[in-house]
Amino acid sequence: MKRVLLLMLLASGLLQTYAQKQLTKGKVLDETGHPLPGATVRVKGTTISSPTNAQGEFQVNTGETSNPVLIISYIGYITAEAPVTGNGAVSVQLKTDPRSLNDVVVVGYGTQKKRDVTGATSSIKAVDIAKRPLVRVEQALQGTTSGVTVQSGSGQPGKGLSVRIRGASSVSGGNDPLYVIDGYIGGNIESVSPADIASVEILKDASATAIYGSRGSNGVVLITTQSGKEGKPRVNFSSWLSKASIPKKLSLMNAFQFAEQVNKYTLAKDNSATPPFSDADLKGFQNNPGTDWQDAITQEPWIQNYQVSVSGGSANVKYFFSYNHLDQPGILINQWYKRNTLRANMDAKLNDRMNLKVNITAVLPQTHNTDYSGDITDPFAQAYQYDPTVPVKDASGNYTPGSPRASNQYNPVANAMNRSVDVNTTNVTATGIFTYRILDHLTFTSNNSYELQSQLSQSVFPLATNEGNVKNDYAQAETNRYRSWQNSNFLTYTNRFGDHALTVTALFEQASKTNTNVKAQAKNLSSYNNGYYNLGLGGTQLTTSGYWADALISYMGRVNYAYKDKYLLTAAVRTDGSSHLTQKYSTFPSVALGWVINKERFMEQSRVVTGLKLRASYGQTGNQAVPAYATIAQINSGGPAYYFDGSTPSVSTPLGTPVSQSLQWEKNTTYDVGIDAELFRGRLTFTADAYNRQITDLLYNVPNASYYGGGNYQKNLGSLENKGLEFSIGGMPVAGNKFKWTSNFNISFNRNKVLNLGGIDNVIVNNIGSAQNGAAILKVGQPLGSFFGYKFLGTWKTAQAAEAALYNAKPGDARYEDLDNSHSYTSADLQVVGNGTPKFGFGFINDFSYGNWSMNVMFQGTHGNQIYSFTTPYTLGGLGDARHATSTEVLHMWTPENQTNVPTYTSNSFLTSSRWVYDASYIKLKNISLTYTFPERILSRIHVNSLDIYVSAQNIWTVTNYPGYDPEVTNATNAITQGLETGTIPNPKTYTVGLRLGL
């Protein structure tokens, strides 16, 4: 009997030891009983840890630990400890941390709890970015936060997006925000893979952006990339595959309709002429629809994206390594973008007082034929102007070079296939952040970044292209080498004295950039078989080179003060000195106040309002929106040659355009008031802001009189106003045990107006593409993006024949508004006919989950903006190189029996008129995705931490009145020309399948 008892005791001990070596499983919940994904579960006294999955579940090996205890932590919640019971199952419910109303956010040169932020800011987390298959970081900003308008101006692969924070703040300078990547100011946004992002903070008002001084006038986007976490190595792999296609096609005529209309056009111009197409031709086309050039010029490519990362570390050293590969062909034939991105982020605790963080990233993008700016001569634009009776290739398999009808340009398919514009870039950025805790409350930080970029651009336009068709064939190669260096050193003092909390920051910063380039071009090569690799075959050669450099030096001081954590003050002042300007130094102050009302006695016990803060701020920022050397008079080269000996030409170096002697910063002064509310412990959140921005000393290129050297020079011209309202509301309408629904809606209203132009009433903008001359105007009292032209009133009807005769017109001709009643259409009748700026933009995001299934639905749109389309008039023929109409709209042309507003072939129609201005308001289903997360009971069998598979679709549904390809695209080059569009490639609709795997 004793032996039996001894054996039982021994078996019990073995079982207990075995159990201690097994996986401990459990679940982490919030106060309402909902899972907390991403919480960290660590075995106390060890480095063993594991994150929770989407269902809040975890599994962790407790090893040989006796009576193990788990430590569970999550941002915004009180860290909890839980002993492992005999059965190994642990369920923990975390409580909200009353000391942290919201997450810690990056605010520039430091961090703050969102509760203490007094400026207008917004945040985007990694979990939200992961819900869509993104190619570029800017896509993560679209529709996700108020006050930010993101426009994909072209559907070409790899192209950057236009980002506007609270409207445009410069007339001719850049309006994109300042990107700060892990502390590197002005970092290359293309170098960041969306999957590497930990968080994005958007600083919108001047009190938040003034700490960046001269570079913060357009708003600031702070990007923090992933870091390693303490614990064993974690491997994550994700991949998605998308099928892309053109979202819609224009309604163009088939071969029969086109031929019939060409005959009508010919007879309308000369009723004695012989129609180009015979009856036999027309009969043949009735059974042959001809060439659909829209189909011929486009394709439906597969886009591939792969991401792998390895992270982990100990208490002293943490690491995060990642690699991303993107292969994105365009919807236009013979066009693609490829990108490889490598990242290494390392954190080291050198000792109790010193820390070092090193981030190194390398991005190698390659582009092929992605240089189309949107113009009537581009292959895509030529496709909708081209003759459908002409095949792409003849019977011998050779490209048909052209057609005597419709467009007089070269075959668009041949043009797209025969040209090559290749750009290969290598960009390496290294950032080192050294932190030294001098005293318990005083810290020194030195942030040093170095960026090096090398770029080789090679292009060839042989004979069988548009260029070759006009004897301008050529090949060229250009190299660029860019270097940027930044050094930021700042002291931070943080302390708490009873009810008083104080943080003081003092900064010294310096930065410099240089760029060199060499370009060689050869024309009329004797052979193009070697493409751009043998420029020596050219009949003529041209070599040029260039160099520029600039520098910036800055000083900044900031104070953050809080009394009882409910009365908040932030004040900052920054001085910048720029090499670009005559008046090199300028100072930018800011101040902001906050009142945390829910901490007052009358609201402390409220079960409804758990967070309520009022904010008010004032601040100034600047913009050095001029190129280097804009204040230095220059000598030109390449002027008319002089023959001193009568036969040998000399190099001419005439004086260049004079420069301004008092060029200074654009100044942006902003006032902002806002409110942040949280109800039912975060179940419902609300944010509202109202702002007014005055931009003075606008920088603009002013024409110079010919007797002063001609050309244009930079000048401080006038002022501009931006004002608006922003609202964001989010919450969890349904929070059941299995079914959950979270929702977020944001909407932004913005109005801008030109206040003065230094005594000039208006400035007409020219040279926006080959078709859009004089289409935009900068006019006092009007918003930016105003269109200029004649007001189209339809057609003259039969009953108006007598009045039409006064204008030398007849019924069926185009009719325009005659402002001065001169019975003729002159420049005096030109007026503002529309605007490309939206009255408001919005985003609406919903997430649904049921068990292991989840769905994301995202809508985004704008309202009140218009497009001045120069695509449509060229499909109606009679303009430029478009000799005949291709649009089905001419099938509804005015006749005595059917008096429509489509003018007849004999009408004199203006290219710049309101006839081509369209409502471009739209609502797009930007993303819809369905995801399945595999349960832990299945994953544990195959030793996998997490696995998600999903299907999604992007841009598959659009509501708009715009008749063109895409209401979102434009070939605007600045704030004045927004809304102008000619032959711009639309954003594709895509269908995606993907997976996310964690090991």
- Selection from 566, 574, 579, 576 nearest residue 590 by Cα: 574
Q: Name 934's bridge partners.
A: none
Report the SS3 class of residue 476: strand
E-strand stretches of 717-839 = 719-735, 739-756, 762-765, 776-779, 786-789, 792-795, 814-816, 831-835
What residue ranges of the chain have pLDDT lower than 70?
1-22, 32, 38, 45, 47, 54, 63-65, 75-77, 86-88, 96-105, 112-116, 637-642, 706-709, 766-772, 880
pLDDT in the model for residue 830: 92
8 A C-beta contact, residue 94 and residue 31:
yes
Contacts 24+ apart (CB under 8 A), 708-712: 708/657, 708/658, 709/654, 709/655, 709/656, 709/657, 709/658, 710/657, 711/656, 711/657, 712/657
pLDDT in the model for residue 2: 47
**Phi-psi group of 404: left, alpha or beta (phi > 0 → left; psi -120 to 50 → alpha; rest → beta):** alpha
CA distances 775 to 763, 767, 911, Å, are 11, 9, 9
Question: What is the amino acid identity at position 451?
Answer: E
pLDDT in the model for residue 33: 73
Instruction: Return the HEC string of 493-512.
Output: EEEEECCEEEEEEEEEEEEE
pLDDT in the model for residue 114: 65
Tokens at 655, concatenated: 């004086």
8 A C-beta contact, residue 540 and residue 558:
no
Tokens at 46, concatenated: 């060890």
Question: What is the amino acid identity at position 245?
Answer: S
- Selection from 333, 156, 168 nearest residue 969 by Cα: 156
Beta strand pairing status for 474-497 and 442-461? Answer: antiparallel
- Selection from 801, 794, 797 nearest residue 896 by Cα: 797
How many residues belong to the chain? 999
- Residue recorded with tokens 């990233």: 361
Report the SS3 class of residue 705: coil
Report the SS3 class of residue 810: coil
Q: pLDDT tens-digit profile of 90-125? A: 888 887 665 444 556 677 787 766 666 777 788 888
Question: What is the amino acid identity at position 713?
Answer: Y
Burial letters 653-688, b for 16+ CB under 10 A, else e: eeebbebbeebbbbbbbbbbbbebbbbeebbbbbbe
Instruction: Return the HEC string of 295-334.
Output: HHHECCCEEEEEEEEEEEECCCEEEEEEEEEEEEECCECC
pLDDT in the model for residue 8: 42
8 A C-beta contact, residue 635 and residue 137:
no
Residue 275: DSSP 8-state: P
The model's pTM: 0.85
Q: pLDDT tens-digit profile of 301-334? A: 999 999 999 999 998 999 999 999 999 999 999 9
Instruction: Return the HEC string of 837-858.
Output: CCCEEEEEEEEEEECCEEEEEE
pLDDT in the model for residue 123: 85
| C-alpha 815: how far from chain center | 40
Give the N- to C-terminal CA distance of the chain in Å, as an integer: 49
CA distances 636 to 479, 520, 543, 702, Å, are 22, 19, 16, 18
8 A C-beta contact, residue 113 and residue 202:
no
8 A C-beta contact, residue 40 and residue 73:
yes
Handedness of CA 434, 440, 441, 442 (dihedral sign): negative
8 A C-beta contact, residue 883 and residue 408:
yes
How many helices (H) and strands (E) the chain has is answered by 13, 50
Question: What is the amino acid identity at position 33?
Answer: G
Domains of the chain in start order, with CATH, are: 18-93 (2.60.40.4130), 238-245+297-622+666-790+834-870+911-998 (2.40.170.20), 255-289 (no CATH), 791-829+875-909 (no CATH)
Beta strand pairing status for 786-789 and 739-756? Answer: unpaired
Residue 914: DSSP 8-state: G
Query: What is the distance between the alpha carbons of residues 856 and 743, in angstroms, rounded to a whole number?
Result: 10
* Angle at 265 (CA atoms; ends 262, 266), nearest 5 degrees: 85
Burial letters 220-232, b for 16+ CB under 10 A, else e: bbbbbbbbbbbbe
Please name the residues in contact with 802: beta carbons below 8 A apart, sequence gap of 6 or more.
Answer: none
CA distances 142 to 47, 85, 361, 640, 904, Å, are 39, 47, 25, 50, 43
Report the SS3 class of residue 597: helix
Tokens at 454, concatenated: 């090398």
- Selection from 987, 989, 983, 881 nearest residue 380 by Cα: 983
* Angle at 199 (CA atoms; ends 352, 492), nearest 5 degrees: 40
pLDDT in the model for residue 561: 94
- Residue recorded with tokens 């000799």: 883
Query: What is the distance between the alpha carbons of residues 165 and 170, in angstroms, rounded to a whole number?
Result: 12
pLDDT in the model for residue 20: 43
CA distances 253 to 388, 873, 895, Å, are 8, 15, 19
Helix axes 279-286, 255-269, angle to 10 degrees: 150
Handedness of CA 255, 260, 261, 263 (dihedral sign): positive
Residue 120: DSSP 8-state: -
